[in-house]
Structure 1
């Protein structure tokens, strides 16, 4: 679970740092709403005070103001300010976007009220999630934890023309930070109630003038925030470790090659069931509860992804892009379904999944005086 768990039987675990960030953001928004904009100085326009946001909603870098698509772009600075840990944390600040992340292995994404309420391997979703231009075929691998993210773009409305199928409601594009030609390192530590700890570290090392390596790691832990009245154990703990290693090589001024390896290992408690029948410990939804899954409820995820992106400027204005990816994803989600400890009413379920996917995209684009594919138009002189 991320954000504020929607548990009706007990006190929800709430991250103090996130609460403070949200409160400050709302206070700033309220104060800004009453502030009057200063008139522009002589020779200036009213838009000069706006920050220029560059997005890739049309699979090329463009200013947000020039993109004829309904796009909400969230920068890395805003992600850090909100202490957002995944797409579920951004949904509250993105109009039209709803993310059900009560299960990290079975999330559901909704844009403008359109969604696919199924996570099966044979079901194509209405909202597609792309990570560095790579389509995540399984929703369980789409809810990645934010670490070293450049920006998140939410494209509303059908996007089939550019992104293909699975985008009837819209698309979500997550762009990670790429290796740079300077040495940098960062570290962040967040602590909260219920033993919550989030540690994030990044290091970027230029090996030569045209070869750089970047690595980051994210460790997220939280103790159980629910109390099992029978066993005395905590429920709802989080145990996640994820990271990325990428290398960037620019053999010449016209070629840019990036290879990346992504890893995520999640071992959480499975979602709990709150029983209110006569067989439950209490018919009060806020009263004591217990789950009796044999071996314990669990929700696990193991993801390893490999990606190779090559950009080559062939001639002036003509660019060839190749994106290759191989991903292995396995998950298990075992949970209690009866909400009691009565052996005569025992019921649990488990969703076990393991799959491999290969993604290949070749894109040829041109931007010039005669032909501009970014605007889908042909200019005849």
Structure 2
């Protein structure tokens, strides 16, 4: 049966279009969330779907643009090479290669194991499916929060083409070119070239502007109808990215202003960096999908290969202040192979799917952190000010500036960002007393030595010996702003095996019962080597990766994890157009390895994550198909949640630990064709999350404040609202003008594990698009604006610079305007 899968999809769309000609109604949406083509209204899973038309109307160029308009979902690609995807509050905040993501991203049925290889241009796609809640049965491991599936347009047996040019402010010039052609009666090919180019919108006083876009990609797909029952689809993709992106900037007035005399700090104004943030990636991906239809069943084989090399350079303190200099380099080399065999079938009352899957990922990652020796002193200063009520701190501060007791008490318990505000004043007091670098360092290091902390680094804790051991070494290097370099090199080989089955049994004409199970076994090996370029007085001393002087490491580890995931769903069709469902589903995220730190009571590997989700939902079409409304209410419990957190004093470092959490909420989504020309759509999500257990790692200097039990999880607003209006205005015989207005409002949210009181303020965004669409649809012209009202908001904060008092942030892009010119041939 030639083109049987393609004909199923095309036939459903044509049937919906024919019905719409008779009576205005919303277009039917076909998805493959359950590994078979189905109307989205018949799938008992909460999900949001964006087809190619919607992506165009939202002026969306990546997943983050779609995430802004998706209920219960947050996406962030401020770093395109370290994006984060959050569904219902579930995410992974670890950027290292020792762990896996909690939201699975698939591209044409192939898992994109790392976020660095998932972000690509949304061009010539069929749809993007965002599935919410654990998808452990059909999508497998690392889908505890949900799954995102990007499906590209397949070749068709018709000659068609498309050329698109986009121009806009900030020097935007984008181009897309697609051509599709049958090569014979049984072979068709589809080719796509896409280029995205835009100048940076962060004006940098000390270097190139940041947050630019510069990427190019090629995609080819070949469809071969090998026989009446066999279809072969081969896809290949290559892309390059090279841009000044991923830039963060300091949010601390004094850090900026002390390095830029005469300039006032504005978090939405110019930035100043002393290290050029840059993102580079070269990626190649290919897959081979074979579908063979038997009598009543279809065998599918999907073989995938993805390989990429990246380099991420970051100014982590977000400033040009040499006392806070903190930069990093993160090259990655990743190769991923996967093979899945799937058998699906259906009878009058039973639909079923079973399969086996195997994957092998090899990773190589090097993180290099670079400081000045003055940054080392800043770490110490921050610790002194945060603990100002200790006896030694009070003696130190009184001797330094003759401060009255009430001023000293007022310093106690400062947050890292507050330390950044007051720290320059104390440095200046030392300078005002004409103290040279040796004497300045003596104040700092005598305090640390008196506290006994230097003994953790192999430096003598004798007050006299220890002090003179370091003063002659450190002070001159601080004054000269000499560099300090540390590195951690990691590599791993991760293999995963799975077998699964899922079936839907029609109990009668109204009731359906779905059950599924998946067994997953992961086998991982992991190598880690740490090193640093500098020493203090001959002692091993690490700032970035080694809490309280942990020694250099050269170690190999291995571990295995396994889990059974499943789902049980009961759905009831009240009418042919209205369905309700109740489900229980579980998910599994593989365990991993602590990539950045080892120490007392810090395990080298950590447990797998597990989640169980309970959900009630309804999907329905009303008013003769002109109104579609979906609703879902859910509650989930999370066990062994993997969290990356800064720990330790006086010099904090990153550690992974396990925590437990829970969440519950409601999601609403509606589409209403009010008239033949006016469509209103919108969605709303309400979400509450909370840590129910937060294990304490017994690291030196850690206090009870590190227990976040009862606190909300980071990164997701409690309330989120999206609204859209689309109006088609007929213009005589010429054609029509299509106007679309999109609006989103996000509530405030917690954005830091390090400081759970730090909130991202509520903000709203609006997009506007006006399209001139002539009869015949041979060409179209659109004028558009994103962030129409030029909203200013900082949506993400960085913990790295915050450790030394230079809290950094990323802000949303400003208002942008442009025009699209589209030609079909």
Query: What TM-score, normalized by structure 1, do the two folds share?
Result: 0.82
Following superposition, the deviation at residue 228 of structure 1 comes to 2.4
Counterpart for residue 263 of structure 1: 238
Cα deviation code 1:20-67 (max 9, x no counterpart): xxxxxxxxxxxxxxxxxxxxxxxx9xx982321110010110111111
1:14 maps to: none
* Range with greater deviation from structure 2 (216-225 or 100-109): 216-225
Match of 1:221 among 187, 190, 197: 197
Corresponding residue of 1:310:
290
Alignment partner of 1:356 is 2:335: yes
**Of the candidates 271, 274, 285, which is equivalent to residue 289 of structure 1?**
271
Greater helix proportion:
2
CA RMSD of the aligned region, Å?
A: 2.2
Q: Deviation at 1:167? A: 0.9
Q: Does structure 1 retain, via aligned residues, the 8 Å contact 2:78–2:245?
A: no
CA shift for structure 1 position 285: 2.6
Name the stretch that deviates more: 267-276 or 175-184. 267-276
Please give the alpha-carbon distance, in whole angstroms, between the structure 2 residues aligned to 1:339 and 1:298. Answer: 13
Q: Aligned pair in 2 of structure 1 residues 139, 235: CA closer, same or farther (>3 Å)?
A: closer
Q: How far off its partner does 1:273 sit? A: 3.7
Q: Is the contact made by 1:274 and 1:285 (CA closer than 8 Å) also made in structure 2?
A: no
Separation of aligned partners in 1, 2:51 and 2:64 = 16
What is the aligned partner in structure 2 of residue 56 from structure 1? 32
Query: Contact 2:29–2:39 (CA<8 Å) still a contact in 1?
Result: yes
Deviation of 1:339 after TM superposition, in Å, equals 3.2
Give the Å deviation of 1:265: 0.7
Given that 1:112 and 1:169 are in contact with CA atoms closer than 8 Å, whether structure 2 keeps it comes out as yes
**Residues of 1 paired with 2:341 and 2:44: CA distance?**
24
Between the two proteins, the alignment pairs up a number of residues equal to 333
Between the aligned partners of 2:162 and 2:222, the Cα distance in structure 1 is 18
CA contact (8 A) 1:127 1:172 kept: yes
Is 1:242–1:263's contact at 8 Å kept on the other side of the alignment? Answer: yes
Cα distance in 2 between the residues matched to 1:380 and 1:127 = 33
Does structure 1 residue 243 correspond to structure 2 residue 218? yes
| Aligned partners of 2:351 and 2:503 also within 8 Å | yes
Q: Point out where structure 2 has 5 or more consecutive residues left out of the alignment.
A: 1-19, 354-501, 509-825
Deviation string, structure 1 residues 72-100 (Cα, Å, up to 9, x no partner): 11111111111211111111221111001
Structure 1 residues 159-198: aligned runs within 5 Å = 159-198=135-174
Q: Which residue of 2 aligns with 1:34?
A: none
- Give secondary structure in 2 for the equivalent of 1:219: strand
* Kept after mapping to 2: 8 A contact 1:280/1:289: no
Q: Which range moves more in the overlay, 65-74 or 366-375?
A: 366-375
Shift of 1:247: 0.6
Distance 2:57 2:245 in 1: 29
Which string of whole-angstrom CA distances, capped at 9 and with x for unpartnered residues, describes residues 126-177 of structure 1?
1101111111101111111111100011111111111111111111111100
More strand by share: 2
Using the TM superposition, give the Cα deviation of residue 378 of structure 1 relative to its aligned residue in structure 2, in angstroms: 5.3
CA distance in 2, matches of 1:365, 1:272: 47
The offset of 1:191, in angstroms, is: 1.1
Work out whether 1:254 is the aligned partner of 2:229. yes
Q: Distance in 2 between matches of 1:346 and 1:329?
A: 30
**Cα separation, 1, equivalents of 2:111 and 2:176:** 25
Alignment of 1:204-219 (within 5 A): 204-219=180-195
Q: 1:118 to 1:210 in 2, by over 3 A?
A: same
| Between 279-288 and 88-97, the greater mean CA deviation after superposition | 279-288
Q: Deviation of residue 101 (structure 1)?
A: 1.1
Shift of 1:253: 1.9
3-state SS in 2 of match to 1:333: strand
What is the aligned partner in structure 2 of residue 35 from structure 1?
A: none
Task: Confirm or deny: 8 A CA contact 2:206 2:274 kept in the other structure.
Answer: no
In the TM superposition, 1:31-46 aligns within 5 A as none
What CA distance in whole angstroms lies between the structure 2 residues aligned with 1:155 and 1:380?
26
- The secondary structure found in structure 2 opposite 1:145 is coil
Separation in structure 2 between the aligned mates of residue 99 and residue 340 of structure 1, nearest angstrom: 26
2:134 to 127, 149, 158: 158
- Contact 2:105-2:111 at 8 Å conserved across structures: yes
Residue of structure 2 equivalent to 1:322: 301
Structure-1 residue corresponding to 2:259: 280
Aligned equivalent of 1:372, options 346, 351, 354: 351
Of 116, 120, 124, which residue of structure 1 is paired with 2:100? 124
- Segment of structure 1 superposing worse, 244-253 or 48-57: 48-57
Q: Who is 1:12 aligned against?
A: none
Q: CA deviation at 1:263?
A: 1.2
* Cα drift, residue 344 of structure 1: 5.1
Q: 1:376 deviation in Å?
A: 1.3
Q: In the alignment, is residue 331 of structure 1 matched against residue 331 of structure 2? A: no
**SS of residue paired to 2:65:** helix
Give CA-to-partner distance per residue, 1:273-320, whole Å, 9 cap, x none: 423315332451345432122xx32111111001000000022x2110
Q: Look at both structures and tell me which one has the larger radius of gyration over its CA atoms.
A: 2
Whole-angstrom distance in 1 between the partners of 2:233 and 2:241: 26
Q: TM-score, normalised by structure 2?
A: 0.39
- Counterparts of 2:217 and 2:155, CA distance in 1: 18
Q: 1:373 to 1:223 in 2, by over 3 A?
A: same
Distance 1:68 1:121 in 2: 34
Tell me, what secondary structure is at the counterpart of 1:373? Answer: strand
Q: Kindly indicate whether residue 178 of structure 2 is the aligned counterpart of residue 202 of structure 1.
A: yes
Shift of 1:372: 2.0
Structure 1 stretches lacking a partner, 5+ long: 1-43
C-alpha distance 191-380 of structure 1, shift in aligned 2 (>3 A): closer
Q: 1:235 to 1:254 in 2, by over 3 A?
A: same
CA distance in 1, matches of 2:179, 2:117: 25
Inter-partner Cα distance in structure 2 for 1:97 and 1:379:
32
Provide the rounded CA distance (Å) in 2 between the counterparts of 1:108 and 1:175: 20
What is the distance in 2 between the residues matched to 1:50 and 1:228?
Answer: 47
Change (3 A) 1:339 1:279: farther
